[in-house]
Amino acid sequence: MSTVWNRFVRFISTDDRELCGEPDSSVTDVGLALSKNEVVPVKVLDVASPLQDGGKFTSETATIKKLLSPLAAKEVGTIRCIGMNYRDHVAEMKGTIPTVPEVFTKPSTTLIGPSDPIILPKIAPDAVDLEVELAVVIGKDCKNVDAESAMDYVLGYTVANDLTCRDVQNGILQWGYCKGYDSFCPIGPVLVSSKTIVDPAKLQLGSIVRGKTLQSSSTSELIFKVPEIISYVSRGTTLPKGTLILTGTPAGIGHSHNPPLLRTDLNMQGWLDAEDADQLYLDTTSASLRVDSRQSLPPSNVGRLWNTRGAPTYHGNSYFGYQSAADMIEVESPQLPTGMNNIGVRSTYDGRRTYSYRSERGSYSHIWELLGYLPREKAVVDKLVTAFIEHLNQVYDGLHEETFMTRYEAFWNRKWSDDDRSVIDLRWLSLLFIVLAFGELLECPANASRDIRELSEEASLQFYWASRTAITLAMTFYGESTDAVRCGILITRYLVYLGRKTEAWLASSFSIRFAQAQGMHIDGESWGLPPKVLETRRRLWCSAHALDKYISLGLGRPSATSDKNSMEMKIRNVWIDDKAHDEAQVAMERPENDPTPSVFYIHQQKLSKILGLIQEECFLLTPLTTSYTSYAKVLNLDEILLAWAASLPEYFQVENPLTTMDNSRPYLYWQRLYLHFAFHFARVTLHKTYVLLDSIADRFEYSRDVCINSASADLKLKLSISNTTMADRLRAGATMHSLLSSGLVLGVLVVRDPLSARAALILEDLTAYCEKQNSDPWANEFALAEVRVIELCISSARRSRQESGIMEERTTSTHSQDVNFVEANPPHQNGLPGLYRSPIMTTNPAAPGPVTNTENDPVDNDTWLENWFGPTRSLPEPGDFQSWERLIGSLAPLQ
């Protein structure tokens, strides 16, 4: 129905006249403003009721003294009400979804204004409950209306408080009596025109009592929508103009709490917002991993694993506390509270109020704010979780699918609005959020428009921040858990994919600390852990340990782990995650030529140990020098790396890997890719300190050749990855190639020696890489900063070649003289080009450069190493463009 007004108010003006009109400001919250004693000017209408036709604005503006109900009691007649009409409310009351609307009525004498006093009946003065509801006002008489035309009869919408005497209700079958007392239906403060609210199924609805949010929901939860309700209640019954229909209340009513939150002080502020509803408050709990019996554990010389705060907690031999003391005297040790039970709950002996978990003034209000990040519709969350499990989980090994989905279903099937603080487990919730962050990216097409990409990235980052916040808060209320470790690992991978390496360094330390607190750095075989638990802990530790070593070495920062303080995990080539407990107990390890996903961790663990040696020997506080002893360390570590590469099984080999099993076991393709990336990252990191050094005896030529070959192989892989789908992009992007700026390494080398035999081919590859990155719509500021520096290197090298009279020739081959590649067919479902092989020892020597004067030989100046690489032995960040300009400018005179 068309009205001249958008928001209608009926009020007593400051000069004591009863007037009608519309607030002068379209954004003023009338009820909130009046509660703060603010002045609310109103444009006066020439009608005395919203039901009058032909109303027009006068030229007068009046000020509200007292707000009245939008409709007078005599105008509404019998109030129709619908019970049990919100899905979340039916769930909290443990009811069944009704097949037809549950209709009851309230007399017109219940109607009062939003600020009028509520008169409590003597029959039930202490058990009154409130219910916030969307109220529909009928604008013209109707009868036997069909749902398709029902909205034509709607004048507008307002908020109603359907008050109920619960103790009376418990003794009767009909609801009209317990809800029909005088003053038991406050409505207002405004009546919103139906032309303003186009879809009443997309409204946010809530109630606040003494500053505490009691209900918060959306009309999208309605079982019977507004058109269906009007059609049903008008069957055989005339609904006169002015009829008020209450559509039902959502979850969160006081009666649903334990104990019930019933009161006599009902100063309720209600709101009706025309914005789309986004979120509902959610809570859940999950069982923690536990050791069956502490007394049955065999003695160990590496400390103990205790059950505390809902999670197994590790203490070493130096620990002496209440648990250790109890164990020594062979008594049961006291346990700390699990989850949030009893944390911060004040005693009521002194008469002070114990605040509910949902109190916005209480200690836990931030948790409910955090839960608001979840999509309201379960189907949306289902889609994102399914995308992660189908496309990433097998490669990332991020979730134990069965356990995660069991908790996930319990999460959605829980009792709504439960006020028990022990229900929410933020550790699991943080894991869910980071899964949703990946899922949001997976659901965006790789060729999506810029606007769609930005929306997807923004939504993904919101889930990421929710995950970071949840995992930080979780440590206040809980012990550690495998969920916390998994979350830390996935957050780290997410940040590596985004190119935010410094943040990834911080996040990796989170997962390490969570794992160490549970004793994951100790192989749990001596603790008698079940095989499934044992293998899971081993893989989680290997993943966290490897990320810590890779990222720390890539940034030139200290790692969070020391291999002297952790054990080697006895990982077996066996996969028992999907087996029952009894089957897992007797599962036999498979031979190496029959690989399971676990075999990857055996070789990853060995490589991360080597990276730890590289960091300890070459990148601690004592800087490397050009001395024979220092360089001998580098060569010795390189031999260890080569021995590791030679020990790889044929399906992981760096040269000519066997790919025949890739189609039946697609995880092998990506695991091989990850190991090769990590190998080249390790070799370049080990040798990069010496790539710019000259020597009369060419002592460091080997380091230059290693860097050229490994950086070239890494760059070749980056060029070969097509990223045709978001799944491919995420599988490839969260690997170690994001930590190795192979293009920058080659760029520096080609600027240093632009006339070498390999320079033209390197420039060709670098140009192709820049073209690919510039054309990639998903390239972020970190990737583009790297491209800008590489383009600077290309420009400098080509200028030097032109000045030397060398003509540039575009070729179609890429570096094939230096690195031999062989095509192999990866799994067809991955959609990626072939693998490669790169020589480990045999390289083509660079063309001899000019002989330098021994007086100016950089080798004579040990501090030269600090000039550009600094104490961290790292290249400048790509974003530090001025430093790169100075570096490239200083290299040119050395040519």
Alpha-carbon gap, residue 769 to 683, rounded angstroms: 21
**Beta-carbon contacts of residue 413 (< 8 Å; ≥ 6 apart):** none
**Beta-carbon contacts of residue 133 (< 8 Å; ≥ 6 apart):** 81, 159, 160, 161, 162, 205, 246, 247, 248, 249
Calculate mean pLDDT across residues 342-364: 45
586 pLDDT band, cuts 50/70/90, is confident
Calculate mean pLDDT across residues 127-147: 92
Give 73-273's CATH code, choosing from 3.90.850.10, 3.40.50.2300, 3.40.50.1970, 1.10.3720.10.
3.90.850.10
Q: Are 362 and 355 in contact (CB under 8 A)?
A: yes
Rounded mean pLDDT of the chain?
78
Residue 420: what pLDDT?
Answer: 40
- pTM, whole model, 2 decimals? 0.60
Length of the chain in terms of residues written: 895
Residue 416: what pLDDT?
Answer: 53
Residue 737: what pLDDT?
Answer: 60
Q: What is the pLDDT of residues 695-732, one digit of tens each?
A: 777 788 898 889 888 888 888 877 777 667 888 888 88
% of the chain residues with pLDDT over 90: 36
Cα-based distances in Å from 285 to 258, 412, 420, 422: 17, 11, 10, 7
Calculate mean pLDDT across residues 464-482: 86
Cα-based distances in Å from 552 to 285, 563, 691: 35, 14, 21
**Beta-carbon contacts of residue 586 (< 8 Å; ≥ 6 apart):** none
Nearest to 614 by CA among 558, 565, 553, 675: 553
Calculate mean pLDDT across residues 538-549: 94
**Beta-carbon contacts of residue 591 (< 8 Å; ≥ 6 apart):** 573
34 pLDDT band, cuts 50/70/90, is confident
Residue 381: what pLDDT?
Answer: 94
CA 177 to chain centre: 49
Q: Are 830 and 666 in contact (CB under 8 A)?
A: yes
pLDDT at 789 over 50: yes
Between these two residues, 382 and 420, which has the higher pLDDT value? 382
pLDDT at 50 over 90: yes
Alpha-carbon gap, residue 854 to 848, rounded angstroms: 17
**Given its phi and psi angles, is residue 59 left (phi above 0), alpha (psi -120 to 50 degrees) or beta?**
alpha
Q: Which two tokens stand for residue 61?
A: 């503006």
Between these two residues, 643 and 216, which has the higher pLDDT value? 643
Q: Which two tokens stand for residue 427?
A: 């550790």
Residue 850: what pLDDT?
Answer: 34
Most confident segment among 117-126, 153-162, 343-352, 580-589: 153-162
pLDDT at 834 over 70: no
Q: Are 373 and 433 in contact (CB under 8 A)?
A: yes
68 pLDDT band, cuts 50/70/90, is very high
pLDDT at 868 over 60: no
pLDDT at 861 over 50: no
Taking each helix axis as running N to C, give the angle between helix 531-555 and helix 599-618, from 0 to 180 degrees, rounded to the nearest 10.
40
Calculate mean pLDDT across residues 312-321: 72
Q: What's the burial of 474, exposed, middle or buried (CB within 10 Å: 0-12/13-18/19+)? A: buried
pLDDT at 837 over 50: no
Name the β-bridge partners of 677: none
Give the angle subtended at the CA of 75 by the CAs of 71 and 79, to the nearest 5°. Answer: 85
pLDDT at 603 over 60: yes
Question: Of 84-93, 114-123, 378-387, 603-612, which range is least confident?
Answer: 114-123
% of the chain residues with pLDDT over 70: 75
Alpha-carbon gap, residue 224 to 103, rounded angstroms: 12
Q: What is the pLDDT of residues 500-540, one digit of tens each?
A: 888 999 999 989 999 999 889 988 887 878 898 999 999 99
Residue 754: what pLDDT?
Answer: 87
Q: Which two tokens stand for residue 277?
A: 């509803």
CATH 3.90.850.10 maps onto the chain at 73-273
Question: Of 72-76, 265-269, 321-325, which range is least confident?
Answer: 265-269
Q: Are 6 and 196 in contact (CB under 8 A)?
A: yes
The H or E element containing residue 8 is strand 7-13
Name the β-bridge partners of 158: 135
pLDDT at 262 over 60: no
Q: What is the pLDDT of residues 450-460, one digit of tens each?
A: 889 889 999 99
Residue 824: what pLDDT?
Answer: 34
Name the E strands within 261-375.
268-273, 304-308, 311-315
Q: What is the pLDDT of residues 647-687, one digit of tens each?
A: 999 999 998 899 999 999 999 999 999 999 999 999 988 88
Sign of the dihedral defined by the CA atoms of residues 143, 148, 151, 152, in that order:
negative
154 pLDDT band, cuts 50/70/90, is very high
